[in-house]
Amino acid sequence: MLKINGMNFPLDRKYYIKDGAHLWLKSEGNIIKIGFDAFATEAIGSINFFNINKKKAKSGESIGSFESIKFVGRFYSPITGEIVAVNNEVLSNPQMISDYPYDSWIVAIKPDNKNKFKYILEEKDDISRWICKEIKRIESDK
């Protein structure tokens, strides 16, 4: 477990970093579960609505949307593939994402064999550098 500024980042998963997405990916067999990391949940605030509106995912494209107390946003897929499961428990109670980000996967995708897995970090030092850089970026925006 990597802990930075009180936020946890489990090292049993990978992190999607494109455009400040802050998504985690965890492989379970030939399926990859995806959710928001602790940094995202801290920045987003309390989520009160979440919707997945696609059956197929394409890396970098929106597959759903969410609303929080701070803003409305789109949920972008980090990988290309078929959406094989949606976590309906989390969608009907999206506060779970904010409360338990690493237990609250949102979608499970069976990736296409052509995935290139761009913008994904998995090494502890790379994740640490990225999170520290993101913290500085947010603090400078204040």
Task: Give CA separation, 109 vs 2, 56, 73, 136, in Å.
Answer: 25, 8, 20, 32
pTM for this model (two decimals): 0.93
Q: What is the mean pLDDT of the chain?
A: 93
Provide the number of structural domains found in the chain.
Answer: 1
The pLDDT score that the predictor gives to residue 138 is 83
What are 58-99's pLDDT values in tens digits?
999 999 999 998 889 999 999 999 999 999 999 999 999 999
The pLDDT score that the predictor gives to residue 142 is 62
pLDDT above 80: residue 116: no
Task: Give CA separation, 72 vs 18, 50, 67, 101, in Å.
Answer: 18, 10, 4, 18
Question: Rounded distance, CA 127 to CA 122, Å?
Answer: 7
Mean pLDDT, residues 46-65: 94
What are 117-136's pLDDT values in tens digits?
789 999 999 999 999 999 99
Strands 47-52 and 62-68: antiparallel
Query: Domain span at residue 47?
Result: 2-141
Phi and psi for 113 in degrees, rounded to 5? -70, -15
Residue 131's domain is classified under what CATH number? Answer: 2.40.50.100
The pLDDT score that the predictor gives to residue 39 is 95
Task: Report which DSSP code applies to 132.
Answer: H
The pLDDT score that the predictor gives to residue 42 is 92
